Structure 1
Amino acid sequence: MKHFLVLYFGLLMLTACAQDKKPIQGETDYQREQNAKFKDATQSPLTAKGLKNFKSLDFFKFDSTYVVRARFTRTPYTKPFKMKTTTNRLPEYVKYGELSFVLKGKELKLNIYQNQGLINQEGYEDYLFLPFLDETNGNESYGGGRYLDARIPKGDTMLIDFNKAYNPYCAYNSKYSCPLVPRQNYLKVRVEAGVKVYKK
């Protein structure tokens, strides 16, 4: 009888733990990966209060319209510059290239940048930074714009997936210093893809 009770309570505790551990939310693998990262206290940019109340980031519904093939033009002779941030920090970037593409019937262009402080770090040798502003900023999406990560392509094209657009960390926590999106990277179109504004 004693062994039966131990087994019974053991199974009861396992069942309770399994019920407490809710599945990671998200429509796509990328969304689930982001939600998992934000739930993980060792990686999350959220404040302690935000982490405690976190369930899921709010995303636009995945839309393949926002996956575009862009013409990639390198700009090898541009000089490094100090990119403004939300603090006094001024990281050094260089305009690495230009991306030309068509979205929603409009011909658009974005500058893509390389952080000069990152290129010497392992894993970031070919990393490129693609910040952008669009017509959803301040409404459905974060007012300061959003970011995309990229790698230096081998050829003269690059795939841009706006469904993977994410907010700067300072959208979640004021302790972070985030690059301000250059005005040249303002898209006169609604990019209804990627993460939405964070509601605290």
Structure 2
Amino acid sequence: MKKLCFLILLFQASLLLSQEKAQEFQNNLNKEFATREDSPLTEEDFKVFKGLSFYPITEKFIVQAQFVRTPNEKVFKMKTTSSRLPEYVKYGELHFAIDGQAFQLNVYQNIDLIQKEGYEDYLFLPFSDLTCGKESYIGGRYLDMRIPKSETVVIDFNKAYNPYCAYNHKYSCPIVPLENDLPIEILAGVKKFHD
């Protein structure tokens, strides 16, 4: 019983910390977009930019996931919004539940990016959901991850962000693979920029 109470307290503490980190992430994203050198916004949008629109931060979309490594996957060319075809490999699967419903997302590694210092353990988690094209960007959203050190990871959808091409057509962005289309509304993270 004591162990169970301790685990519940530990999980609640980690949720609180995750919510604070999500708020910090969103604040930093707004600062980045408001800084001309870092912003993907068009000149026209930059002049009137007051901040991105986010769903309210909620613990419902901070989920514990089972990480399953998938070795021996073949490198493939991921489609993008342009003719560019960057090479990726499926690195693993994330199995989790929301409202008692089971879901799976694949995480990927960019073959070129992992050659760069500081990105050796970087993983890419693109997804789309039932809000896409309505309240969120039609092309889906992204999450950044690092290679997990254990079989359990936390996915914080409050940190979901739009690809740069949601703001400016000059960018080339990976298109979310069909297997990462979730049949649920993820009411967390960044909303779409233009109505």
TM score, norm. by length of structure 1: 0.85
Which amino acid is the alignment partner of residue 37 of structure 2?
A: T
2:146 counterpart of 1:118: no
Match of 2:51 in 1: 56
Structure 1 position 199, deviation (Å): 1.6
Q: For 2:79 and 2:194, locate their aligned partners in 1 and report how far apart those are by CA, in whole Å.
A: 25
Structure 1 SS opposite 2:63: strand
Supply the AA of the counterpart residue of 1:192: L
Q: Does structure 1 residue 89 correspond to structure 2 residue 84?
A: yes
Aligned to 1:34: 29
User: Which of these residues, 154, 159, 173, is aligned with residue 159 of structure 1?
Assistant: 154
SS of aligned partner of 2:113: coil
1:44 aligns with 2:62: no
Counterpart CA distance in 1 for 2:42 and 2:100 is 40
* Partner-residue secondary structure (3-state), 1:149: strand
For residue 32 of structure 1, report the CA deviation from its aligned partner. 1.0
Corresponding position of 1:17: none
User: Per-residue displacement from partner, 1:52-83 (whole Å, max 9, x unpaired)?
Assistant: 11001000000011001100000111000000
Q: Which amino acid aligns with 2:163?
A: P
The match for 1:198 is 193
Q: Secondary structure at the match of 1:43?
A: coil
Deviation at 1:197, TM superposition (A): 0.4
Q: Matches of 1:128 and 1:52 in 2, distance apart?
A: 33
Aligned length: 174
SS at match of 1:119: helix
Q: If you compute each CA radius of gyration, which structure gives the higher value, 1 or 2?
A: 1
1:135 corresponding residue in structure 2: 130
Report the equivalent of 1:146: 141
Q: Which amino acid aligns with 2:158?
A: N
Question: One-letter code of the match for 1:167?
Answer: N
- Deviation string 1:150-181 (CA, Å, 9 cap, x unpaired) is 00011111110000000010000000000000
Instruction: Report the aligned-residue RMSD.
Output: 1.0
Alpha-carbon offset, residue 188 of structure 1: 0.7
Residue ranges of structure 1 left out of the alignment (5+ in a row): 1-26
Code of the aligned partner of 1:180: I
Is the aligned partner of 1:182 residue 2:177? yes
Given residue 36 of structure 1, which amino acid in structure 2 is its aligned partner?
A: K
Deviation at 1:28, TM superposition (A): 2.0
Give the SS at the match of 2:115.
coil
TM-score by length of 2: 0.87
Deviation at 1:104, TM superposition (A): 2.1
* Separation in 1, partners of 2:69, 2:25: 28
1:82, 1:31 → 2: CA distance?
A: 31
